[in-house]
Structure 1
Amino acid sequence: MLSHTPRVIRLWEVSRMRVLSFKVEDDLLELLEEYARRRNIPKSEVIRRALRQYINSDKDRPYVGKYIKIYS
């Protein structure tokens, strides 16, 4: 007898996500599509993982941009 494991879909996770639109070069889009296809995961998931990794790896690095002084 085959046992079937129920598949759990976390609707609360999906429903709390927001849509983000951005521009990307054709070659980068092709790389993204290929990466997602080979791993059988949605492109959105690839982008979410990449953003988390980038932000987490950069958060302890000091800011080297310009600060704007505001006078009140």
Structure 2
Amino acid sequence: MNTADYGLHETLEVHELAAFKTLCMTKAKAMKLLVSDPELKQILLDDVEISTRQLQELSHILANSDIREMRS
């Protein structure tokens, strides 16, 4: 998709998703330090890994959206 394919509301929603996902990942990283159960710790580690990949994808989408172009 090029920049013309994204509406302003879509770009803002992706930004909100990225902010929420960042918060969740930060919480998972903090909680894994407090968890003693190995199975739960592995779940948190997996969540951090998946969240990192998802944030990279969201970052790519945001990089391809140019809000300045939409204002014209």
With structure 1 as the length reference, what TM-score do the two structures score? Answer: 0.30
The structure whose Rg is larger is: 1
> Between Structure 1 and Structure 2, which shows a larger proportion of helix residues?
2
